[in-house]
Amino acid sequence: MKIDANGKTQEDLNEYIRRNKATLYEIDGCLGQRFIAAGADDGRYLLRGTPGNALAAYCNGAYVEVDGNAQDAVGDTMNAGKIVVHGSVGDAVGYAMRGGSIFVKENAGYRAGIHMKEYKEKIPLLVIGGTAGSFLGEYQAGGIIIVLGLNGKTPIVGNFPCTGMHGGKVLLRSLCKDVAFPKNVVLSTLSVRGSAFEPILKEYCRIFGQSENEVLDQEYTLVTPDDKNPYKQMYVQN
């Protein structure tokens, strides 16, 4: 189903989608309309333009792809599905996500992946191809966050990354000598060839047409929570 979003309010656009069930929605002319594909269980959403806040919030299995940028809170509390953004995203991408995957070709704003969590086989994934702003992975309880820094800018993340982290993993394509981490995390250097991260990185390259050698042939910094950190005692019941 083809939909022209030009001139449509977010209420009109989302109501039209709800009333007209389809397996594929091609939406042109997005300009800040919020909540597109929010709570979607299935179907494919191909968007052109700039969708507004909370794109695919509470997504429960749909595939959402944006040919352009997206605003704040992409994939907020998503449970399953896949989101692909061929540009940059605003703040709080993947906020509290608990399943599914988000691939961003370029940059992310502040507080990417904060409060991410996982349960058994549900391990959320957030991959950012450029750089991320401050508070990356704040209070992360599970899942995987990867930042590749392919835009060449340093540092690869902003201030206060992984503050309060008590679960999950953060992988950064950099030795991170210019990044100040809190005391509650452990840093280790990793070569991703042959690791569990290699298939994820190859998927990013396939989606966006990126050189695998550029992405894979560099040392990464793996960030994990310190087993003794006090935040784990606050959030995890033994």
pLDDT at 29: 97
What number is the average pLDDT over the span 215-222?
A: 96
**Residues 94-128 pLDDT 10s:** 999 999 999 999 999 999 999 999 999 999 999 99
Q: The domain that contains 93 carries what CATH number?
A: 2.160.20.60
Q: Does the pLDDT value for residue 232 go beyond 60? A: no
Mean pLDDT score of the chain: 95
Report how far residue 79's alpha carbon sits from residue 85's, in angstroms, rounded to the nearest whole number: 18
**Residues 195-207 pLDDT 10s:** 999 999 999 999 9
Question: Tokens representing 102?
Answer: 């988000």
The model carries a pTM of 0.95
Domain count, the chain: 1
* Residue 227 pLDDT level (bands cut at 50, 70, 90): confident
Residues 6+ apart with CB under 8 A from 113: 93, 94, 95, 97, 126, 136, 137, 140, 143, 145, 170
**Residues 40-96 pLDDT 10s:** 999 999 999 999 999 999 999 999 999 999 999 999 999 999 999 999 999 999 999
Report how far residue 224's alpha carbon sits from residue 144's, in angstroms, rounded to the nearest whole number: 10
pLDDT at 235: 54
**CA angle at 208 for the pair 170 and 120, rounded to the nearest 5°:** 40
Q: Does the pLDDT value for residue 237 go beyond 60? A: no
pLDDT at 8: 95
Report how far residue 178's alpha carbon sits from residue 180's, in angstroms, rounded to the nearest whole number: 7
pLDDT at 229: 56
pLDDT at 165: 95
Report how far residue 47's alpha carbon sits from residue 142's, in angstroms, rounded to the nearest whole number: 29
| Structural domain for 105, as ranges | 2-235
